[in-house]
Amino acid sequence: MRTILVTGGYGFIGSNFIRYLFRQKGFKGRVVNLDKLTYAANPDSLKEVTAKFKARCTSVKCDICDHELVDKLFKKYRFDCVVHFAAESHVDRSIYGPKDFVETNIHGTFSLLEAARAAWADRKDVRFHHISTDEVYGSLGRTGKFKETTPYDPRSPYSASKAASDHLVMAYHHTYGLPVTISNCSNNYGPYQFPEKLLPVVLINAIEGKPLPIYGDGKNVRDWLYVEDHCSAIWRVINKGRPGRTYNVGGDGEMTNLELVKGICDALEKLVPSSENKALKGKRYADLITFVKDRPGHDRRYAIDYSRLRRELGWQPSVGLAEGLCRTVAWYLSNWQWVTLVRSGEYRKWEEKNYGGRGKTAARAGGRGRRNAR
Ligand code: NAD
Ligand code: TYD
């Protein structure tokens, strides 16, 4: 792989993937990161890798929906591979405003596919890898896991837009012979995750002594995947996966949201005991747990069967949830400046407009179903 186009490389998983790539001894190519720099982007996440690999890591500000510019970049850089992360990625935002999700996730993917189809008409030594989610499969009951053959049943505007993009990607394979692969992964966690997703919201609020908002009864289950494991799975699929095939990626990390939040509180007690954190005013971290109004259409349980990836490509996750949580909490604590930077931008404006500040999320829903977990 000589020149790789990474879309959304200033985001959580994209930036982890670029760092992962430059750690691989066998990787001698270059990366062009194409990112619109939405609220979720943080150029600081790539600062070190860009400085160290100046000649091999470039970023271009570009909206993937801008077909003309995307086309031009394909001609300029002659990409050999596309790793497509760029997306609107937060379910709650898709409930407040689905338009950007339809634009970026569907039209943006379409624009990339068209550019790849035009640029790669006579090439077979290329790959279009699309990052998707387990949320396209819908919601599980108490038992069972999502397989690659599970019928799509998306429930939120976010998952519906991802499902649409998955179908487009596969259609380009069947219709035009584009060498595509898709990976559908479960909830990622780890360094550099934007503070709107559960884990960083809880961690940061806890440190600041603010309520830890848990939607509904806290018994929704997610299958947590350490982001570096996800990156290694993507790289394996790109190098060894079969064109036209989908691979599920999971972390063997099923847990209810309430258990996860308690796990974060426990990890924090070990690293920054609440008794030494003045923001806690004598409380323990777990005392901050606050049940808030449920998310509309909240999927109950996700669980991933990644046996195809294990059997066919020999991949399996290497970081267990307990270990991954400790690493993640430790990373945020020693990178507080990143948190400050990422919260200083657009996110704050959106948060103020919609929630009146994240700390007030619980209060906003306080009238209905607010109670303490312990
Ligand atoms: P993120 O929200 O942290 O980052 C998204 C990045 O894409 C940002 O840098 C943003 O600026 C960029 N972007 C958004 N719209 C763009 C546009 N129109 N043009 C160019 N760039 C644009 O997202 P993430 O959590 O890193 O997720 C990456 C991918 O993984 C997404 O496709 C998401 O659906 C998928 N995924 C994420 C998770 C998870 O747990 N985070 C789980 C399953 C699948
Ligand atoms: P999230 O991190 O938004 O990922 P996704 O919706 O893609 O699974 O949410 C993970 C789970 O945590 C989900 O069940 C919703 C829940 N949640 C809360 O309970 N409180 C919160 O503040 C957030 C952001 C999520």
Give me the architecture of the 87-334 domain, per CATH: 3-Layer(aba) Sandwich (3.40)
pLDDT band per the 50, 70, 90 thresholds, residue 343: confident
pLDDT beyond 50 at 249: yes
At 284 the pLDDT is 97
| This prediction's pTM | 0.95
Average pLDDT value for the chain: 93
Residue ID of nearest Cα to ligand 1 atom 5: 11
135, amino acid identity: E
pLDDT beyond 90 at 354: no
Residue ID of nearest Cα to ligand 2 atom 9: 198
C-alpha 351 to ligand 1 mean position (Å): 18
Q: Determine the average pLDDT of the residues in 292-297.
A: 96
What is the SS3 assignment for the chain? CCEEEEECCCCHHHHHHHHHHHHCCCCCCEEEEEECCCCCCCHHHHHHHHHHCHHHEEEEECCCCCHHHHHHHHHHHCCCEEEECCCCCCHHHHHHCCHHHHHHHHHHHHHHHHHHHHHCCCCCCCEEEEEEEHHHHCCCCCCCCECCCCCCCCCCHHHHHHHHHHHHHHHHHHHHCCCEEEEEECCEECCCCCCCCHHHHHHHHHHCCCCEEEECCCCCEEECEEHHHHHHHHHHHHHHCCCCEEEEECCCCEEEHHHHHHHHHHHHHHHCCHHHCHHHCCCCHHHHEEEECCCCCCCCECCECCHHHHHHHCCCCCCCHHHHHHHHHHHHHHCHHHHHHHHCCHHHHHHHHHHCCHHHHHHHCCCCCCCECC
Q: Which of 89, 184, 198, 351 to mutate to test the pocket of ligand 2 (most atoms within 8 A of CB)?
A: 198
At 355 the pLDDT is 63
pLDDT band per the 50, 70, 90 thresholds, residue 361: very low
Instruction: Answer yes or no: 134 catalytic.
Output: yes
Q: Ligand 1: which residues within 6 Å by Cβ? A: 7-8, 10-14, 35-38, 40-41, 63-65, 85-89, 104, 108, 131, 133, 162, 185, 187-188, 194
pLDDT beyond 70 at 190: yes
Q: Determine the average pLDDT of the residues in 336-351.
A: 81
C-alpha 198 to ligand 2 mean position (Å): 5
Instruction: Answer yes or no: 192 catalytic.
Output: no
pLDDT tens sequence across 14-38: 999 999 999 999 999 999 999 999 9
At 154 the pLDDT is 98
The two three-digit tokens of residue 185, written as one number = 């992964």
Q: Determine the average pLDDT of the residues in 284-311.
A: 98
6, amino acid identity: V
Q: Which of 105, 132, 184, 197 to mutate to test the pocket of ligand 2 (most atoms within 8 A of CB)?
A: 197
Question: How far is residue 165's CA from residue 8's CA, in Å, rounded to a whole number?
Answer: 15
pLDDT tens sequence across 48-94: 999 999 999 999 999 999 999 999 999 999 999 999 999 999 999 99
At 372 the pLDDT is 32
Is residue 86 a contact partner of residue 106, using CB atoms and an 8 Å limit?
no
pLDDT band per the 50, 70, 90 thresholds, residue 116: very high
Percentage of the residues of the chain whose pLDDT score is greater than 70: 93
The domain spans of the chain are 87-334
For Cα atoms 121, 103, 39, give the angle at the middle one, nearest 5 degrees.
115
